[in-house]
Amino acid sequence: MEILMLFAALHCITLCRAVTPASLNSVTNLPVGQDIQFPINYCSDEKYEVTFRRRSPVSLKIMAWNSARPERPYVTHPSYERRVQFHRDAFFVLQGVQLDDEGEYMVQTDYLGTQLRNHDWDSFTLRVFEPVSQPEVVITGKCSSNLKLNCSTARGTKVTCRWERQRAGGVGNDTFQGAVLQLENTPELASHTYTCIAGNPVSEETSDPVTAALCDKDRARGPRNHWIAVLVLVPTISLVMLVSVIVLWRERIRNSNLSRGVTQEIEEARYSLRGGEPDVSCVDCWRNTSNDVAARSCKSPRKTDAQMLASSSRPTSPALEH
């Protein structure tokens, strides 16, 4: 019993759901998610066939029904299978319209008599909009002069904005079109209250009132924000510079050590080619000397090249020949 009551309640909700009738040969504006019904124009006792079509921006047959087979529609487009309902001799219902449902529709009735086949057709235009959200106002420019009030919305399609200015005494209002309002000076803002109104054909929202208090708040907050930025940036920049100096200094020391080691290896190789290992005192001189000029002054006690050549060309002793 409870299950049957639940189904009955759901059925009632479906039937009682708000449906907007489409305007014949006119434009119907709907918010996203709304249902719309297209009436069937039937005026004959003959058998007939009703076709629900979309004409633009694409042309397709959404649903068709024939009175000779009244059980159910015999054509339903796959894209609309769960969204279109047919009520015999009454109307078609398109449920939960979306932005891409916007376009032109037609309901055509063909009479299936034995004589000339006649037909009636009705045309409808559907426009779909996303409702607008409450507009937000941002003040740009200097509070002393050349103020700009910028109005914008987070949601909404085909949104238009206008400004209303109310005098301090509450008498007399002025209206300005557009999302941006230019003010010459702060006294003008101080003596009036400004409100942005954003809307489209299916909705309208109003911003919070804009007064001079908002500009005063921005002015009071400005210097504080400036000093906060200075206190954050100065230590950060100083730390980056200190780290850079340390890295460059260590890199210079490493390059200097590498250069000294390469020079030492070259000298040791040159002494070896001349006739043996370099003198220990010279090697120690290279290793213990940090000055490159002083290191080059180290001399080996080994013979020079000329001395080695002269000793090799000296004649052999006769005593050794025997």
Percentages helix, strand, coil for the chain, rounded to the nearest 5? Answer: 35, 35, 30
- 15 close to 95: Cβ distance less than 8 angstroms: no
3-class DSSP state of 102: coil
Number of other CB atoms surrounding residue 100 within 10 Å: 9
| Position 116 confidence tier, pLDDT thresholds 50, 70, 90 | low
Separation of CA 81 from chain center = 34
- State pTM to two decimals: 0.58
Query: Residue 284 pLDDT more than 80?
Result: no
Query: Residue 123 pLDDT more than 70?
Result: yes
Query: Residue 241 pLDDT more than 60?
Result: yes
309 CB-near residues (< 8 Å, 6+ apart): none
How far apart, in whole angstroms, are the C-alpha atoms of residue 54 and residue 79? Answer: 12
Q: What is the pLDDT of residues 142-156, one digit of tens each?
A: 666 677 889 999 999
Identify the pLDDT of residue 285: 52
